[in-house]
Amino acid sequence: MELSKQTMAAKPFSNHWSEEDIILITYGDSIVKTDEAPLKTLKKFLDTKVSNTINSVHILPFFPYSSDDGFSVIDYSSVNESLGTWQDITQISEHYRLMSDLVINHCSSRSAWFDNFIKGEGQGSDYFFTALADDDLSAVVRPRTSPLLKEVETGKGKQFVWCTFSHDQVDFDFRNPEVLKAFASIIKQYLDMGVKIFRLDAIAFLWKVVGTPSINLPQTHEVVRLLRTLIESAKQDAVIITETNIPNTQNLTYFGNANEAHGIYNFSLPPLLLNTLLTGNCLYLKRWLMSMPPAQDGTMYFNFIASHDGIGLRPAEGLLDEAELNNLVQAVENFGGKISWRTTDTGQQKAYEMNISLYDAMQGTVQGKDQWNFERFICAHAIMFALEGIPGIYIHSMLGTQNDYQKLANTHHNRAINRRRWHVEALEEALNDSNLHHAKVLSSLKSLLALRIKQPAFHPNATQFTLHLGLQLFGFWRQSKDRKQSMFCVSNISDQPVVLPLSELNLIITESWLELLTQVKITDLNHELILSPYQTVWISNI
Protein backbone atom coordinates (compact mmCIF):
# COMPACT_ATOMS: atom_id res chain seq x y z
CA MET A 1 0.00 0.00 0.00
CA GLU A 2 1.37 3.41 -0.95
CA LEU A 3 1.71 5.82 1.96
CA SER A 4 0.18 9.28 1.70
CA LYS A 5 2.50 12.28 1.69
CA GLN A 6 1.29 13.17 5.18
CA THR A 7 2.26 9.82 6.72
CA MET A 8 5.54 9.18 4.89
CA ALA A 9 8.70 9.45 6.95
CA ALA A 10 10.30 12.87 6.95
CA LYS A 11 13.21 13.30 4.59
CA PRO A 12 16.40 13.44 6.69
CA PHE A 13 18.64 16.49 6.68
CA SER A 14 15.89 18.78 5.35
CA ASN A 15 16.00 22.43 6.38
CA HIS A 16 12.48 23.55 7.24
CA TRP A 17 13.62 27.15 7.58
CA SER A 18 15.26 29.99 5.68
CA GLU A 19 16.71 33.47 6.15
CA GLU A 20 13.12 34.74 6.28
CA ASP A 21 12.40 33.01 9.59
CA ILE A 22 12.35 35.33 12.60
CA ILE A 23 10.65 34.28 15.85
CA LEU A 24 9.10 36.77 18.26
CA ILE A 25 9.05 35.47 21.86
CA THR A 26 6.13 36.70 23.97
CA TYR A 27 3.66 35.85 26.66
CA GLY A 28 0.05 35.69 25.58
CA ASP A 29 -0.61 38.74 27.74
CA SER A 30 2.57 40.80 27.27
CA ILE A 31 0.23 43.39 25.75
CA VAL A 32 -3.30 43.80 27.11
CA LYS A 33 -6.37 45.86 26.35
CA THR A 34 -9.39 46.37 28.57
CA ASP A 35 -12.31 44.08 27.67
CA GLU A 36 -10.34 42.20 25.00
CA ALA A 37 -8.81 38.74 25.12
CA PRO A 38 -5.03 39.21 25.28
CA LEU A 39 -4.45 36.72 22.45
CA LYS A 40 -6.60 38.91 20.21
CA THR A 41 -4.60 41.94 21.32
CA LEU A 42 -1.38 40.08 20.53
CA LYS A 43 -2.64 39.20 17.05
CA LYS A 44 -3.41 42.87 16.37
CA PHE A 45 0.07 43.89 17.55
CA LEU A 46 1.68 41.30 15.28
CA ASP A 47 -0.40 42.37 12.31
CA THR A 48 0.04 46.11 12.72
CA LYS A 49 3.58 46.45 14.09
CA VAL A 50 5.81 43.59 12.94
CA SER A 51 4.11 41.41 10.32
CA ASN A 52 6.36 42.62 7.50
CA THR A 53 9.53 41.46 9.29
CA ILE A 54 8.50 38.63 11.65
CA ASN A 55 6.85 35.45 10.38
CA SER A 56 6.87 33.28 13.52
CA VAL A 57 5.78 33.70 17.11
CA HIS A 58 6.61 31.77 20.26
CA ILE A 59 3.72 32.19 22.66
CA LEU A 60 5.01 31.16 26.08
CA PRO A 61 2.79 28.67 27.98
CA PHE A 62 -0.79 29.69 27.33
CA PHE A 63 -2.39 26.96 29.44
CA PRO A 64 -4.02 27.10 32.89
CA TYR A 65 -1.22 27.21 35.46
CA SER A 66 -0.55 27.69 39.16
CA SER A 67 2.91 29.31 39.27
CA ASP A 68 6.11 30.19 37.39
CA ASP A 69 4.26 32.40 34.87
CA GLY A 70 2.85 29.42 33.00
CA PHE A 71 5.50 26.74 33.45
CA SER A 72 3.53 24.95 36.16
CA VAL A 73 0.76 23.60 33.92
CA ILE A 74 -2.55 22.52 35.44
CA ASP A 75 -4.20 21.38 32.19
CA TYR A 76 -2.28 20.77 28.97
CA SER A 77 -5.40 20.47 26.82
CA SER A 78 -6.94 23.89 27.52
CA VAL A 79 -6.11 27.51 26.83
CA ASN A 80 -5.99 29.74 29.89
CA GLU A 81 -9.37 31.45 29.73
CA SER A 82 -7.83 34.72 30.90
CA LEU A 83 -5.86 34.75 27.61
CA GLY A 84 -8.48 33.55 25.14
CA THR A 85 -9.46 30.33 23.38
CA TRP A 86 -8.07 27.69 21.05
CA GLN A 87 -9.71 29.66 18.24
CA ASP A 88 -7.51 32.64 19.10
CA ILE A 89 -4.46 30.36 18.98
CA THR A 90 -5.39 28.86 15.62
CA GLN A 91 -6.06 32.30 14.15
CA ILE A 92 -2.51 33.29 15.03
CA SER A 93 -1.17 29.99 13.65
CA GLU A 94 -2.89 30.63 10.32
CA HIS A 95 -0.80 33.76 9.76
CA TYR A 96 2.40 33.06 11.72
CA ARG A 97 4.47 29.95 12.29
CA LEU A 98 3.49 29.06 15.83
CA MET A 99 5.95 27.87 18.46
CA SER A 100 4.61 26.39 21.68
CA ASP A 101 6.13 25.04 24.86
CA LEU A 102 5.85 21.39 25.70
CA VAL A 103 6.37 21.54 29.48
CA ILE A 104 7.37 17.91 29.62
CA ASN A 105 9.52 17.53 32.74
CA HIS A 106 6.88 18.48 35.30
CA CYS A 107 3.37 19.79 35.84
CA SER A 108 1.48 21.65 38.53
CA SER A 109 0.85 20.09 41.92
CA ARG A 110 -2.72 21.38 41.44
CA SER A 111 -3.30 19.33 38.28
CA ALA A 112 -5.92 16.59 38.08
CA TRP A 113 -3.13 14.11 37.45
CA PHE A 114 -1.42 14.97 40.73
CA ASP A 115 -4.76 14.93 42.56
CA ASN A 116 -5.13 11.36 41.36
CA PHE A 117 -1.59 10.61 42.51
CA ILE A 118 -2.57 11.76 45.99
CA LYS A 119 -5.77 9.68 45.86
CA GLY A 120 -3.83 6.70 44.54
CA GLU A 121 -6.23 6.02 41.68
CA GLY A 122 -7.13 7.24 38.21
CA GLN A 123 -5.05 8.75 35.40
CA GLY A 124 -1.92 10.27 36.87
CA SER A 125 -1.79 8.08 39.94
CA ASP A 126 1.48 6.55 38.69
CA TYR A 127 2.77 9.48 36.60
CA PHE A 128 5.19 11.03 39.09
CA PHE A 129 8.76 10.25 40.09
CA THR A 130 9.36 9.41 43.72
CA ALA A 131 12.44 8.59 45.77
CA LEU A 132 13.10 7.47 49.32
CA ALA A 133 13.80 9.99 52.04
CA ASP A 134 17.20 8.41 52.76
CA ASP A 135 18.32 8.05 49.11
CA ASP A 136 21.69 9.60 48.34
CA LEU A 137 20.74 12.49 46.05
CA SER A 138 23.90 14.52 46.57
CA ALA A 139 24.97 14.12 42.93
CA VAL A 140 21.76 15.58 41.49
CA VAL A 141 22.32 18.71 39.38
CA ARG A 142 19.55 21.27 39.47
CA PRO A 143 19.12 25.04 39.14
CA ARG A 144 17.33 25.69 42.42
CA THR A 145 18.15 25.82 46.13
CA SER A 146 14.81 24.44 47.40
CA PRO A 147 14.65 20.86 48.79
CA LEU A 148 14.52 18.32 45.96
CA LEU A 149 11.89 16.04 47.49
CA LYS A 150 8.34 17.00 48.48
CA GLU A 151 6.69 14.89 51.16
CA VAL A 152 3.11 14.00 50.23
CA GLU A 153 0.48 11.89 52.01
CA THR A 154 -1.25 9.71 49.41
CA GLY A 155 -3.77 6.90 49.32
CA LYS A 156 -0.79 4.58 49.15
CA GLY A 157 0.98 6.14 52.11
CA LYS A 158 3.71 8.72 52.47
CA GLN A 159 5.58 9.49 49.23
CA PHE A 160 8.53 11.72 48.43
CA VAL A 161 7.96 13.39 45.06
CA TRP A 162 10.88 14.64 42.97
CA CYS A 163 10.69 18.39 42.29
CA THR A 164 13.55 19.69 40.14
CA PHE A 165 12.33 23.29 40.14
CA SER A 166 9.80 23.97 42.89
CA HIS A 167 7.37 22.10 45.11
CA ASP A 168 4.53 23.30 42.89
CA GLN A 169 6.24 21.66 39.92
CA VAL A 170 6.15 17.90 40.34
CA ASP A 171 8.32 15.81 38.02
CA PHE A 172 6.98 13.10 35.74
CA ASP A 173 8.25 9.53 35.73
CA PHE A 174 8.95 8.62 32.11
CA ARG A 175 9.84 5.07 33.10
CA ASN A 176 6.05 4.63 32.94
CA PRO A 177 5.09 4.34 29.24
CA GLU A 178 1.65 5.76 30.07
CA VAL A 179 3.31 9.15 30.66
CA LEU A 180 4.83 9.04 27.19
CA LYS A 181 1.48 8.05 25.70
CA ALA A 182 -0.21 10.97 27.45
CA PHE A 183 2.30 13.40 25.96
CA ALA A 184 1.95 11.84 22.51
CA SER A 185 -1.74 12.70 22.73
CA ILE A 186 -0.92 16.26 23.85
CA ILE A 187 1.50 16.70 20.94
CA LYS A 188 -1.13 15.52 18.47
CA GLN A 189 -3.62 18.05 19.82
CA TYR A 190 -1.09 20.88 19.52
CA LEU A 191 -0.30 19.91 15.93
CA ASP A 192 -4.02 19.93 15.14
CA MET A 193 -4.25 23.44 16.60
CA GLY A 194 -1.51 24.75 14.33
CA VAL A 195 1.68 24.38 16.37
CA LYS A 196 4.69 23.97 14.05
CA ILE A 197 7.58 24.34 16.51
CA PHE A 198 7.81 22.52 19.84
CA ARG A 199 10.03 23.94 22.57
CA LEU A 200 10.92 21.06 24.88
CA ASP A 201 11.11 22.86 28.20
CA ALA A 202 13.75 21.75 30.74
CA ILE A 203 14.23 18.56 28.74
CA ALA A 204 17.72 17.88 30.17
CA PHE A 205 16.18 16.89 33.52
CA LEU A 206 13.58 14.49 32.08
CA TRP A 207 15.03 11.14 33.18
CA LYS A 208 16.08 10.52 36.76
CA VAL A 209 18.21 7.77 38.26
CA VAL A 210 18.95 7.87 41.97
CA GLY A 211 22.67 8.12 42.63
CA THR A 212 23.40 9.99 39.38
CA PRO A 213 23.35 13.71 38.44
CA SER A 214 19.96 13.01 36.76
CA ILE A 215 20.71 15.42 33.94
CA ASN A 216 21.46 14.66 30.28
CA LEU A 217 21.05 10.94 30.84
CA PRO A 218 21.10 8.64 27.78
CA GLN A 219 17.43 7.82 28.29
CA THR A 220 16.57 11.53 27.94
CA HIS A 221 18.24 11.62 24.53
CA GLU A 222 16.34 8.46 23.61
CA VAL A 223 13.05 10.18 24.47
CA VAL A 224 13.97 13.22 22.35
CA ARG A 225 14.69 10.92 19.38
CA LEU A 226 11.36 9.19 19.88
CA LEU A 227 9.44 12.48 20.13
CA ARG A 228 11.07 13.69 16.92
CA THR A 229 10.00 10.51 15.15
CA LEU A 230 6.43 10.87 16.38
CA ILE A 231 6.19 14.55 15.48
CA GLU A 232 7.74 14.18 12.03
CA SER A 233 5.52 11.21 11.23
CA ALA A 234 2.48 13.38 11.95
CA LYS A 235 3.77 16.53 10.23
CA GLN A 236 6.97 16.43 8.20
CA ASP A 237 7.88 20.10 8.59
CA ALA A 238 7.21 20.32 12.34
CA VAL A 239 10.30 21.20 14.36
CA ILE A 240 11.67 20.44 17.84
CA ILE A 241 13.86 22.92 19.73
CA THR A 242 15.40 21.78 23.01
CA GLU A 243 15.64 24.22 25.92
CA THR A 244 18.72 23.12 27.85
CA ASN A 245 20.23 25.89 29.96
CA ILE A 246 23.44 23.99 30.63
CA PRO A 247 27.15 24.25 29.74
CA ASN A 248 27.81 24.59 26.02
CA THR A 249 29.36 21.19 25.32
CA GLN A 250 26.41 19.44 26.98
CA ASN A 251 23.93 21.56 25.07
CA LEU A 252 25.43 20.55 21.72
CA THR A 253 24.74 16.87 22.40
CA TYR A 254 21.02 17.48 21.86
CA PHE A 255 21.59 17.58 18.11
CA GLY A 256 22.42 13.89 18.35
CA ASN A 257 23.43 12.72 14.90
CA ALA A 258 20.92 15.12 13.33
CA ASN A 259 18.27 12.80 14.75
CA GLU A 260 17.36 14.53 18.02
CA ALA A 261 16.50 18.23 18.19
CA HIS A 262 16.17 20.14 14.94
CA GLY A 263 17.31 23.19 16.87
CA ILE A 264 19.04 23.95 20.15
CA TYR A 265 18.96 27.17 22.12
CA ASN A 266 22.31 28.93 21.75
CA PHE A 267 22.47 29.57 25.50
CA SER A 268 26.10 30.68 25.56
CA LEU A 269 25.42 33.63 23.24
CA PRO A 270 23.58 35.95 25.70
CA PRO A 271 26.22 36.04 28.47
CA LEU A 272 29.14 36.07 26.04
CA LEU A 273 27.73 38.85 23.89
CA LEU A 274 26.79 40.93 26.94
CA ASN A 275 30.28 40.43 28.36
CA THR A 276 31.78 41.49 25.03
CA LEU A 277 29.81 44.73 24.85
CA LEU A 278 30.34 45.61 28.51
CA THR A 279 34.10 45.02 28.40
CA GLY A 280 34.85 46.21 24.86
CA ASN A 281 36.78 42.98 24.31
CA CYS A 282 35.55 40.20 22.01
CA LEU A 283 38.20 37.60 22.92
CA TYR A 284 35.86 35.18 24.69
CA LEU A 285 33.03 35.57 22.18
CA LYS A 286 35.43 35.00 19.30
CA ARG A 287 36.98 31.92 20.93
CA TRP A 288 33.54 30.45 21.45
CA LEU A 289 32.36 31.17 17.92
CA MET A 290 35.46 29.57 16.46
CA SER A 291 34.84 26.43 18.51
CA MET A 292 31.18 26.03 17.55
CA PRO A 293 30.55 23.27 15.00
CA PRO A 294 28.44 24.31 12.03
CA ALA A 295 24.92 22.98 12.28
CA GLN A 296 24.58 20.29 9.64
CA ASP A 297 21.61 20.32 7.29
CA GLY A 298 18.47 19.33 9.13
CA THR A 299 19.61 21.11 12.29
CA MET A 300 20.01 24.75 13.31
CA TYR A 301 20.92 27.02 16.18
CA PHE A 302 18.19 29.08 17.81
CA ASN A 303 19.87 32.38 18.64
CA PHE A 304 18.56 34.73 21.30
CA ILE A 305 20.05 37.34 23.61
CA ALA A 306 17.01 38.03 25.80
CA SER A 307 14.01 36.02 26.90
CA HIS A 308 11.34 35.70 29.58
CA ASP A 309 14.03 34.17 31.78
CA GLY A 310 17.22 35.91 32.78
CA ILE A 311 20.66 35.69 31.20
CA GLY A 312 21.94 32.29 32.28
CA LEU A 313 25.49 31.96 33.51
CA ARG A 314 25.89 28.19 33.48
CA PRO A 315 26.29 28.21 29.67
CA ALA A 316 29.25 30.57 30.16
CA GLU A 317 31.04 28.18 32.51
CA GLY A 318 34.31 27.11 30.96
CA LEU A 319 34.03 30.02 28.50
CA LEU A 320 34.39 32.97 30.89
CA ASP A 321 36.75 32.76 33.84
CA GLU A 322 35.64 33.56 37.38
CA ALA A 323 36.96 37.12 37.27
CA GLU A 324 35.05 37.86 34.06
CA LEU A 325 31.87 36.35 35.48
CA ASN A 326 32.18 38.32 38.70
CA ASN A 327 32.75 41.59 36.82
CA LEU A 328 29.73 40.87 34.62
CA VAL A 329 27.50 40.13 37.62
CA GLN A 330 28.68 43.32 39.33
CA ALA A 331 27.96 45.42 36.25
CA VAL A 332 24.44 43.99 35.92
CA GLU A 333 23.75 44.74 39.58
CA ASN A 334 25.02 48.29 39.05
CA PHE A 335 22.48 48.67 36.22
CA GLY A 336 19.60 47.67 38.53
CA GLY A 337 19.52 43.96 37.77
CA LYS A 338 19.04 41.08 40.19
CA ILE A 339 21.02 37.87 40.55
CA SER A 340 19.52 34.40 41.05
CA TRP A 341 21.62 31.79 42.84
CA ARG A 342 22.03 28.04 42.88
CA THR A 343 23.72 25.62 45.30
CA THR A 344 26.71 23.73 43.88
CA ASP A 345 27.52 20.12 44.70
CA THR A 346 29.94 21.43 47.33
CA GLY A 347 27.20 23.48 49.00
CA GLN A 348 28.40 26.83 47.71
CA GLN A 349 26.10 29.56 46.44
CA LYS A 350 26.89 30.46 42.83
CA ALA A 351 25.34 33.02 40.50
CA TYR A 352 23.05 31.10 38.16
CA GLU A 353 21.19 33.81 36.27
CA MET A 354 21.19 37.58 35.80
CA ASN A 355 17.72 39.11 35.82
CA ILE A 356 17.48 42.41 33.95
CA SER A 357 15.87 43.82 30.83
CA LEU A 358 18.33 43.71 27.96
CA TYR A 359 17.96 47.43 27.27
CA ASP A 360 18.93 48.27 30.84
CA ALA A 361 21.76 45.71 30.75
CA MET A 362 23.30 47.81 27.98
CA GLN A 363 23.34 51.08 29.98
CA GLY A 364 27.12 51.19 30.07
CA THR A 365 30.28 49.15 30.44
CA VAL A 366 32.01 47.53 33.38
CA GLN A 367 33.32 51.04 34.06
CA GLY A 368 29.79 52.37 34.64
CA LYS A 369 26.93 54.06 32.77
CA ASP A 370 27.57 56.08 29.64
CA GLN A 371 25.77 57.68 26.66
CA TRP A 372 25.84 54.61 24.35
CA ASN A 373 22.86 52.65 25.71
CA PHE A 374 20.84 52.67 22.48
CA GLU A 375 23.80 52.09 20.15
CA ARG A 376 25.10 49.21 22.26
CA PHE A 377 21.65 47.61 22.33
CA ILE A 378 21.23 47.82 18.54
CA CYS A 379 24.76 46.51 18.02
CA ALA A 380 23.91 43.41 20.06
CA HIS A 381 20.96 42.68 17.79
CA ALA A 382 22.87 43.40 14.59
CA ILE A 383 25.37 40.74 15.65
CA MET A 384 22.70 38.24 16.64
CA PHE A 385 20.67 38.74 13.44
CA ALA A 386 23.71 37.96 11.27
CA LEU A 387 24.95 34.83 13.07
CA GLU A 388 24.39 31.31 11.82
CA GLY A 389 20.97 30.21 13.04
CA ILE A 390 17.41 31.48 13.45
CA PRO A 391 16.99 34.67 15.52
CA GLY A 392 14.52 34.78 18.38
CA ILE A 393 13.59 38.25 19.65
CA TYR A 394 11.92 38.82 22.98
CA ILE A 395 9.00 41.22 22.66
CA HIS A 396 10.45 43.44 25.39
CA SER A 397 13.64 43.83 23.39
CA MET A 398 11.58 44.73 20.33
CA LEU A 399 9.94 47.47 22.39
CA GLY A 400 12.99 48.55 24.39
CA THR A 401 11.19 47.76 27.64
CA GLN A 402 13.13 48.59 30.80
CA ASN A 403 13.28 46.98 34.24
CA ASP A 404 9.84 46.55 35.80
CA TYR A 405 10.50 47.25 39.46
CA GLN A 406 6.81 47.41 40.34
CA LYS A 407 6.18 43.88 39.12
CA LEU A 408 9.34 42.74 40.87
CA ALA A 409 8.11 44.24 44.16
CA ASN A 410 4.65 42.71 43.73
CA THR A 411 5.85 39.19 42.95
CA HIS A 412 9.21 39.00 44.74
CA HIS A 413 10.42 36.91 41.79
CA ASN A 414 13.61 38.15 40.15
CA ARG A 415 12.49 37.13 36.66
CA ALA A 416 9.49 39.45 36.91
CA ILE A 417 11.83 42.38 36.32
CA ASN A 418 11.80 41.54 32.59
CA ARG A 419 8.17 40.45 32.22
CA ARG A 420 6.31 43.72 32.00
CA ARG A 421 2.69 43.68 30.91
CA TRP A 422 2.07 46.63 28.59
CA HIS A 423 -1.39 48.14 28.35
CA VAL A 424 -2.11 49.05 24.74
CA GLU A 425 -2.77 52.68 25.60
CA ALA A 426 0.51 53.04 27.52
CA LEU A 427 2.42 51.26 24.76
CA GLU A 428 1.01 53.48 22.03
CA GLU A 429 1.80 56.53 24.11
CA ALA A 430 5.38 55.35 24.60
CA LEU A 431 5.80 54.58 20.89
CA ASN A 432 4.48 58.03 19.96
CA ASP A 433 6.66 59.96 22.41
CA SER A 434 9.72 61.29 20.55
CA ASN A 435 11.50 61.84 23.86
CA LEU A 436 11.47 58.10 24.58
CA HIS A 437 13.56 55.41 22.95
CA HIS A 438 10.82 52.82 22.36
CA ALA A 439 9.80 53.86 18.83
CA LYS A 440 13.43 54.27 17.82
CA VAL A 441 14.24 50.76 19.05
CA LEU A 442 11.26 49.22 17.24
CA SER A 443 12.03 51.07 14.00
CA SER A 444 15.75 50.26 14.10
CA LEU A 445 15.25 46.56 14.78
CA LYS A 446 12.62 46.28 12.05
CA SER A 447 14.98 47.97 9.60
CA LEU A 448 17.72 45.48 10.44
CA LEU A 449 15.30 42.58 10.05
CA ALA A 450 13.92 43.89 6.76
CA LEU A 451 17.45 43.73 5.38
CA ARG A 452 18.28 40.40 7.00
CA ILE A 453 15.37 38.45 5.55
CA LYS A 454 16.45 39.38 2.00
CA GLN A 455 20.01 38.03 2.31
CA PRO A 456 20.65 34.40 1.24
CA ALA A 457 23.96 34.60 3.13
CA PHE A 458 21.91 34.79 6.33
CA HIS A 459 20.25 31.42 5.78
CA PRO A 460 20.44 29.61 9.14
CA ASN A 461 22.73 26.99 7.57
CA ALA A 462 24.86 29.29 5.42
CA THR A 463 28.62 28.98 5.86
CA GLN A 464 30.21 31.01 8.65
CA PHE A 465 33.85 31.78 9.45
CA THR A 466 35.19 33.93 12.28
CA LEU A 467 37.34 36.93 11.31
CA HIS A 468 40.44 38.04 13.19
CA LEU A 469 40.34 41.83 13.42
CA GLY A 470 41.68 42.47 16.91
CA LEU A 471 39.76 42.61 20.17
CA GLN A 472 37.59 45.70 19.52
CA LEU A 473 36.18 44.53 16.19
CA PHE A 474 34.04 41.39 16.22
CA GLY A 475 33.47 39.98 12.77
CA PHE A 476 32.52 36.92 10.78
CA TRP A 477 31.95 35.97 7.16
CA ARG A 478 28.81 34.33 5.80
CA GLN A 479 28.32 32.73 2.40
CA SER A 480 24.99 31.70 0.90
CA LYS A 481 24.39 28.02 0.27
CA ASP A 482 24.62 28.57 -3.48
CA ARG A 483 27.93 30.43 -2.89
CA LYS A 484 26.74 33.47 -4.80
CA GLN A 485 26.55 35.91 -1.89
CA SER A 486 29.40 36.75 0.46
CA MET A 487 28.69 38.84 3.55
CA PHE A 488 31.24 40.37 5.93
CA CYS A 489 29.65 41.31 9.26
CA VAL A 490 31.81 43.50 11.48
CA SER A 491 30.88 45.35 14.67
CA ASN A 492 32.83 47.80 16.78
CA ILE A 493 32.10 46.41 20.23
CA SER A 494 33.86 49.23 22.07
CA ASP A 495 33.01 52.77 23.21
CA GLN A 496 35.76 54.29 21.03
CA PRO A 497 36.00 54.75 17.23
CA VAL A 498 37.94 51.91 15.59
CA VAL A 499 39.55 51.72 12.14
CA LEU A 500 38.56 48.78 9.92
CA PRO A 501 41.09 48.32 7.06
CA LEU A 502 39.10 46.80 4.20
CA SER A 503 42.25 45.04 3.07
CA GLU A 504 41.86 42.82 6.16
CA LEU A 505 38.62 41.42 4.74
CA ASN A 506 40.11 40.13 1.48
CA LEU A 507 37.28 41.51 -0.63
CA ILE A 508 37.49 39.98 -4.10
CA ILE A 509 38.51 42.65 -6.58
CA THR A 510 36.25 41.41 -9.40
CA GLU A 511 33.12 41.77 -7.28
CA SER A 512 31.08 44.89 -6.52
CA TRP A 513 30.68 45.54 -2.79
CA LEU A 514 27.97 47.38 -0.88
CA GLU A 515 27.65 48.24 2.80
CA LEU A 516 24.01 47.30 3.30
CA LEU A 517 23.16 49.27 6.43
CA THR A 518 24.19 52.61 4.93
CA GLN A 519 23.76 51.62 1.26
CA VAL A 520 27.26 52.97 0.54
CA LYS A 521 29.16 51.39 -2.34
CA ILE A 522 32.74 50.39 -1.67
CA THR A 523 34.95 51.35 -4.59
CA ASP A 524 38.41 51.30 -3.01
CA LEU A 525 39.22 47.93 -1.50
CA ASN A 526 42.27 49.42 0.23
CA HIS A 527 40.15 52.05 1.95
CA GLU A 528 39.76 52.27 5.71
CA LEU A 529 36.38 52.52 7.40
CA ILE A 530 36.14 54.29 10.73
CA LEU A 531 33.47 52.54 12.80
CA SER A 532 31.80 54.65 15.44
CA PRO A 533 31.26 53.15 18.90
CA TYR A 534 29.00 50.11 18.52
CA GLN A 535 28.55 50.57 14.77
CA THR A 536 27.96 47.49 12.62
CA VAL A 537 28.62 47.04 8.91
CA TRP A 538 27.23 44.33 6.64
CA ILE A 539 29.38 44.31 3.50
CA SER A 540 27.90 42.25 0.66
CA ASN A 541 28.95 41.51 -2.90
CA ILE A 542 25.37 41.82 -4.17
Q: Pick out the residues of the known binding site for substrate.
A: 68, 106, 199-201, 308-309, 415
3-state secondary structure (DSSP) of residue 528: strand
* Gap between the Cα atoms of 265 and 251, Å rounded: 8
Nearest by Cα to 182 from 126, 237, 120:
126
Catalytic-labelled residue, pool 88, 201, 404, 495: 201
Percent helix, strand and coil across the chain, each to the nearest 5: 30, 25, 45
| Binding site, annotated residues | 68, 106, 199-201, 308-309, 415
What residues contact 540, with CB distance under 8 A and at least 6 apart? 455, 457, 485, 486, 487, 488, 513, 514, 516
**62-100 burial string, b = 16+ CB within 10 Å, else e?**
bbbbebbbbbbbbbbeebbeebbebebbebbbeebbbbb
CA distances from 108 to 131, 160, 166, 405 (A): 19, 16, 10, 27
- Decide if 343 contacts 145 (C-beta within 8 A): yes
- Has 201 been annotated as catalytic? yes
Q: Which helix (H) or strand (E) holds 444?
A: helix 438-452
Residues with catalytic annotation? 201
